[in-house]
Structure 1
Amino acid sequence: MKKLTIAAALAAATMLSAPAQAGSAEGKLQVKVMATGVLPDGKIDKVNSAAPAVATALGATPDTVANDNWVPTLAVEYFVSPNFSVETICCFTKHKVTGTGSINGANIANDVLILPATVTLKAHANVGPVKPYVGVGPSLFFYFNEKPGTVPAGLGATSLKLDNKLGVALQAGVDVPVNDAGLGISLDAKKYFMKTTTHFYADTTEVLSTDHKLDPWVVSGGVSYRF
């Protein structure tokens, strides 16, 4: 995360110090460095299976919530025409999962590192200096480093695996040019429709599996450079 923050800061400094003649408000490529809030849901859709002791510990109405996180992000966008572009983003975001309902306050999962590989096709409206857009595209969440929380560990879980699954992202935002040399300000919001399945293991035996609805809002603001 520290390396990503340093890289984002260097990219922002490069954009802000780039020679005016290198950029263009009508360029084919646009790079954005932004601060991004990742605001997931994390509710349980379904308990697929549970060992008897685990089922007893879950109670009648188990549910979960994932915490919010703020991270630096880098977006790269290619304009296939003045009104249409393709964009991809790069970021890692770390989360923990906490119990609600009959397991309120339980520490369920820690250090869940997510790479939200996302590509959107965007349509831009030319309404003067403010340039709003909408977009849609596929997303595949990759999960790394996930660990059982203290409660599953206390029930015998030694490892945790989250399934990488395909989802969809809807996007809306606005680009505001600052000058004619490609510098601008960008505001962006994405709504993801994304689920995952968890697998808690005691050594090699699965003791709990649950489906979760992540469906995060991802909101960003930052600087852009088009060239």
Structure 2
Amino acid sequence: MTKRIAAALAAASTLALATPAWAGDSEGKIQIKAFATGVLPNGEITEVRTNLVGAPATSDSQASDSVVPTLAIEYFFSKNVSVETICCVTPHDVTGKGGLAGAALVNDAIILPATVTLKYHFDLGAVKPYIGAGPAHFFIFSEGVGASAAALGATRVNLSNEFGLALQAGFDLPLNDKGLGFSLDAKRYFVGTTASFFAGNTLALQTKHKLDPWVVSGGLSYRF
């Protein structure tokens, strides 16, 4: 997966160098970024609330990585301060670790990570680094029961929507004075979810998880 992310960022960099000038404004109030983004969950089970299926005490889980296109929209209040939101959805499968190693638990869960960050930009010449932070709300939908969970009698699974925090750092590199640029961005989210597996109407297994993904992006920006 690391090689896939590196390839996506390299492609975005090549595209940035090959794109012609646009009629924007390098000091404009609005900036739009089109990214290739790697979403790298760093999760684990933090609490077992219900365990009617007798899952081993050493059971754990891991969500799969994902590479997706994303869009960021940013508004500058001043030269140094801006607010940014992103638009993307990321698909993930969940498999077991430890006592559940290799078990297919959840298929095709889609995460919409609604995020707003307040950013501070440093003026260091051509390269303009920034840091940011803000709230996030993970909307999770379309999750399906994995084959291993279904074999244990699970008929339905739900991953709860949750609030969390995002920390952010990156840089913008103007490519001309018409608003075109190249950007690299990294976010670390601190957010969890509760996984509930049902057998019919009976809650058979419920566990709390931290997700805490790294989200790494690279691509073009356009300011106007």
Same fold (TM over 0.5): yes
- 2:33 maps to a residue whose letter is K
- 2:208 maps to a residue whose letter is D
Distance 1:161 1:200 in 2: 7
Distance 2:40 2:129 in 1: 23
Distance 1:131 1:222 in 2: 15
* Aligned ranges 1:84-123 → 2 under 5 Å: 84-123=81-120
- 2:106 maps to a residue whose letter is A
Distance 1:195 1:65 in 2: 13
Distance 1:138 1:184 in 2: 26
Query: Structure 1 residue runs of 4+, over 3 Å off?
Result: 16-19
Whether the aligned pair in 1 keeps the contact of 2:21 and 2:176 (CA below 8 Å) is: no
1:168-221 CA distances to partner (integer Å, 9 max, x unpaired)? 000000000000000000000000001100111112211110000100000000
Tell which deviates more after alignment, 155-164 or 28-37.
Answer: 155-164
Once the two structures are TM-superposed, the CA of residue 150 in structure 1 deviates from its matched residue by: 1.1
- 1:65 maps to a residue whose letter is Q
- 1:123 maps to a residue whose letter is Y
What is the match of residue 131 of structure 2?
134
What TM-score does the superposition give when structure 1 sets the normalisation length? 0.89
Once the two structures are TM-superposed, the CA of residue 60 in structure 1 deviates from its matched residue by: 2.6
Aligned length: 209
Match among 149, 152, 159 for residue 152 of structure 1:
149
What is the match of residue 5 of structure 2?
none
Once the two structures are TM-superposed, the CA of residue 100 in structure 1 deviates from its matched residue by: 0.7
Distance 1:104 1:162 in 2: 20
Unaligned runs of 5+ in 2: 1-14
What TM-score does the superposition give when structure 2 sets the normalisation length? 0.90
Q: Is 1:183 aligned to residue 184 of structure 2? A: no
- 1:204 maps to a residue whose letter is N
SS at match of 2:77: strand
Whether the aligned pair in 2 keeps the contact of 1:42 and 1:97 (CA below 8 Å) is: no
Distance 1:196 1:103 in 2: 19
Distance 1:48 1:17 in 2: 56
SS at match of 1:127: coil
Match among 76, 80, 84 for residue 77 of structure 2:
80
Unaligned runs of 5+ in 1: 1-11
Whether the aligned pair in 2 keeps the contact of 1:108 and 1:150 (CA below 8 Å) is: yes
Tell which deviates more after alignment, 109-118 or 199-208.
Answer: 199-208
- Give % identity: 59
What is the match of residue 4 of structure 2?
none
- 1:135 maps to a residue whose letter is G
Distance 2:122 2:33 in 1: 19
Task: Provide the aligned C-alpha RMSD in A.
Answer: 1.6
SS at match of 1:81: coil
Tell which deviates more after alignment, 59-68 or 26-35.
Answer: 59-68
Once the two structures are TM-superposed, the CA of residue 17 in structure 1 deviates from its matched residue by: 6.3
